[in-house]
Every structure is written in C-alpha cells, then in structure tokens.
Amino acid sequence: MTRQILKAILISALLVNSVVAEPVDTDRVAATLESLRQSVNAHDYGQLEPLLADNFTYQGRDADFSKMIMQQVIAGYPKELSAIALLDIKETDDAWEIAVRLESADDTDKRNIRLSKDYRLLQADIADIALAGHPPASEEPQALSEDLPVATTVPFTVAESIIVVEAEINGVFGNYLVDTGAQAVVLNRPHFDAADIKTVELDHAMPSGANGTVLDVKGVIDLKLTWGEIRIDGLRGLVTDLSHLETSIGVPIAGLIGYNVLERFQVHFDYAALELTLYSLDENSQPLLQGDLGRPTQTTEFEMMGHIPVFPVQIEGYEMQMGLDSGAGGAMIFTRWREKLEGKYEFIERTELNGGDKNVQMGDVVRIDNMRVQNLDYADMTFRFNDLAAHNGNEMPMDGLLGYEFLKTRPTSINFRRRELMVWSGGEQ
C-alpha cells in the first residue's frame, strides 16, 4: 500500500475518531508502518531496528529480549504482507494506539501497534510466535516448559577445530556441534526418521551457509533437547542433510545446537579444560550463579548482526568489525582487506572452505603477528582471505569472522542478551 493511500485512510480514521487531541504526523505514521511491512517481507531486521524504541516490548517481555523476539519474528514471518491497513488510532499520554489489519494474499489479521510520540515502535506483536522454525502463526507458540539448571558444565571434544558435544534431540542421542553461527537447531536428516520429527515448509528465503544458499531445508517444530542437565521442550529448528560436514570433520553428526538454544544462557568456553558451562540468566540477563568465574579481565560490548555478535578489533593499525562464530574452525578476513594488508602477513597455504551449503570455496591462509581486542593481544593468529555469501543479496556489514583460534586462547564467555563478550586472562594455550 502506498504512503498516499495510508495517509488518506489515516485522515478518514481521524475524522471518525475525534478523540485524538494532539495533531498526528500522518506521513511519519505511514512511513513507520511501511517500514515494518517492508522489513517483514524482506526478512530484514536491520532495516527495522532503528525504528524500535529503547523500551520496545513484544508479548510483555523486557526490552532486550523483546528485540530478540522481533528479530526472529521478522526472520521467519510466514506470509508476504501486501498492506498494513490502518483501522483506528487513538492518543494516550505517551503513545499512539493504532489498530491495523495485516493483509496477505490469502488472509487478514487484526493487530494492535503502539507508536511513541516520536513515531518509533513501542509494541508490534504481529505474530504469536517467538523463535526460529517459522510455522504459521496459528501453530503452537514456543513452549515455555523448560527445566534449566542454575548452571551446568558439559565436556566437549574438538574435531577439525569445531566443538562436539553429546546430547539428545527427540530421542536421537549422538554428537552435536555447538555453533553460535547457526540461527537455530539444525538436524542432520539421515539420523532422524520421519516419525522422530514434525516438519513444516519454510515460507521465506532459504538460509545461507558460508558459500551460498542451503538447499533442501525444512522447518521442524516441537523438538525436545536433553543436554547434560538441560531440558528444553518446544524448540523449533531446521532439518537438512549434513553428511558433507560429517565427512569433512571425520565424526558422525546428529545436528547442530545453535543460537536459539545458546542465547538463553551465558555460555563460557574453556578449551584448556575442554568444558562448556552454561549459566542460566535472571530477569536482568545476569547469570543466576554470580561470582563463580570471578571478575573478567576484560568485557567488550558487541552489536548483533542477525544472531552473530560483532565487535571491533585492531589488526595492523586498522580497526575492523569481526563477527564471532563458534562453528568457524578458522578465522576469516573478507577479501576486500587483502590489498590494504599487503606486506603485513605471511602466506601459509591455499585451502578449501566447506560450509553448510555444500559448496567449496578456495582461500589463502595467512599468519598475522597480532590482533588486539581492546587491551588484550592475540598473537600469531591465522586467517583465511575469503568472503561469506551475501545474505539476501546484501553485503555483510562486518569484516571477518573469529572462531576456534580466538576462543581457545583464553577462557571466554558470551552473554547474548546483555551483548557482552567477557575474557579471563588465565588459561592461555
């Protein structure tokens, strides 16, 4: 729906509902609603994020968690909206209360949206879903029946620089990769009988791997995860064939444990002990078990690019924005930096990069003397010059990825909800 039509409807609504005491800027209301529609259709949270108020809420959750839910709703909204039609608008002391109709090709859905007086979104519960998997809104929402211990420590092994743990999903016990770079749980289809899982079609763009689109993917719902002392029911995720990854790392893989599990915890990586500790969070996103680790040597705030933490690092006098991905066996610098860094690295070899998309990309592996994160140095880091596949045709707004080599250097925790990366100085390997 064009802005002009939205404006005309809005003016008509105002004539009928004369309770609005303060003049409303119809262009700004129309622009916010249109931005919401475009963001949903493009599955692009980044387009909408600047329009979310600091105290934005979704289904009554706190602000930080609500923004995470909104990110997942936009990523998996199952329909294309042809319009967000305005039905009514009223003014309160601090907001515009707006009744809208979400229109798609085969359905309409009445919803309420709240805008602040500066026309940012305070509330936009456009679907009754919260996390990944993306069934239609009429499906059961993400289950809240979870049995989460205050903290649990699980051992892991390392296969080709990737963390492997033992867990069970829907009765299938086996090896699962811990991959913060995966948006959700991903099941390896050959390990699951059709009777083990409930699949749904994806009504949005296929997910991307390192080198391109991952094909032949379906959504899965109602998953039950048992991992150490952790029990989570009602998970959503994806299912595809990961046989190529099994071949690549040399161990059988039942699936991946991704962001929609890990973001519930403060996740502590200790490669010296070969242990992961998952700390449950309180309502302020602080670990329920305080003081167990002591004060970190350094805390770095990060931004979220989708489900990837992104933070600044310094390499050879340049500031770069690096993403953190525990499923990345090697660190990566995007090839646009090769010319700038010429003469400041040592060439090691040229190798293949395998991703979840089954494509193979060649890249040069190089050694760089030092990378600095705030006040901590990471010496003799190796990187690949490669590029990730563009997401939905958009260039990645970061300069590379850090994974195994970064995380193994020092004990490190990620708190996704507080957007904090904590590092302890002990345990350098």
Same domain, 82 and 166: no
Do residues 254 and 174 lie in contact, with contact meaning Cβ atoms separated by under 8 Å?
A: yes
Which tokens hold the place of 382?
Answer: 């190796």
Burial letters 390-411, b for 16+ CB under 10 A, else e: ebeeeebebbbbbbbbbbbbbb
Share of the chain above pLDDT 70, in %: 79
Q: What is the CATH number of the domain that holds 385?
A: 2.40.70.10
pLDDT band for position 354 (50/70/90)?
Answer: low
Same domain, 12 and 108: yes
Which tokens hold the place of 144?
Answer: 């809240």
Assess if residue 183 is contained within a domain: yes
Do residues 330 and 384 lie in contact, with contact meaning Cβ atoms separated by under 8 Å?
A: yes
Same domain, 19 and 116: yes
Which stretches of 133-211 are DSSP H helices? none
CA–CA gap between residue 211 and residue 53 (Å, rounded): 35
Assess if residue 130 is contained within a domain: no
Same domain, 273 and 366: no
How do 400-402 and 318-324 pair as beta strands?
parallel
Instruction: Give bridge partners of residue 110 from the DSSP assignment.
Output: 101
How do 185-188 and 230-240 pair as beta strands?
parallel
pLDDT of residue 361: 63
Task: State residue 411 phi and psi, 5-degree precision.
Answer: -55, 130
Same domain, 89 and 167: no
Lowest mean pLDDT of 30-34, 70-74, 136-140, 190-194, name the range: 136-140
C-alpha 362, offset from chain centre: 27
pLDDT of residue 19: 37
Assess if residue 188 is contained within a domain: yes
Same domain, 386 and 354: yes
Do residues 214 and 232 lie in contact, with contact meaning Cβ atoms separated by under 8 Å?
A: no
Segment 369-389 shows an average pLDDT of: 90
pLDDT of residue 351: 75
pLDDT single digits (tens) 206-263? 444 444 444 578 899 999 999 999 999 999 999 999 998 899 899 999 999 999 999 9
pLDDT single digits (tens) 115-162? 999 999 999 989 864 333 333 333 333 333 356 889 999 999 999 999
Same domain, 242 and 359: no
Structural domains of the chain, count: 3
* Residue 15 clears pLDDT 80, i.e. is over it: no
More confident site: 251 or 3: 251
Q: Which domain holds residue 393?
A: 298-423
Assess if residue 288 is contained within a domain: no
Assess if residue 200 is contained within a domain: yes
Of the residues 280, 306, 336, the one at which a domain ends: 280
Share of the chain above pLDDT 90, in %: 52
CA–CA gap between residue 43 and residue 30 (Å, rounded): 20
Assess if residue 133 is contained within a domain: no
Residues 6+ away with beta carbon under 8 Å from 239: 186, 187, 188, 189, 192, 197, 199, 217, 218, 219, 220
Assess if residue 428 is contained within a domain: no
Angle between helices 26-42 and 3-16 (to 10 degrees): 130
Which tokens hold the place of 227?
Answer: 């991992």
Same domain, 307 and 416: yes
* Residue 20 clears pLDDT 70, i.e. is over it: no
Mean pLDDT of the chain: 82
Assess if residue 95 is contained within a domain: yes
Same domain, 384 and 415: yes
Do residues 182 and 160 lie in contact, with contact meaning Cβ atoms separated by under 8 Å?
A: no
pLDDT of residue 146: 53
pLDDT of residue 61: 66
Same domain, 326 and 396: yes
Other Cβ atoms less than 10 A from the Cβ of 192: the count is 19
Instruction: Give bridge partners of residue 121 from the DSSP assignment.
Output: 52, 115
Same domain, 267 and 334: no
Same domain, 119 and 52: yes
pLDDT of residue 106: 76
Nearest Cα neighbor of 385 from 373, 370, 367, 372 is 367
Instruction: Give bridge partners of residue 363 from the DSSP assignment.
Output: 351
pLDDT of residue 318: 95
In the chain, the N- to C-terminal Cα span, in Å, equals 58
Do residues 230 and 148 lie in contact, with contact meaning Cβ atoms separated by under 8 Å?
A: yes
Q: What is the CATH number of the domain that holds 102?
A: 3.10.450.50
pLDDT of residue 353: 60
* Residue 11 clears pLDDT 50, i.e. is over it: no
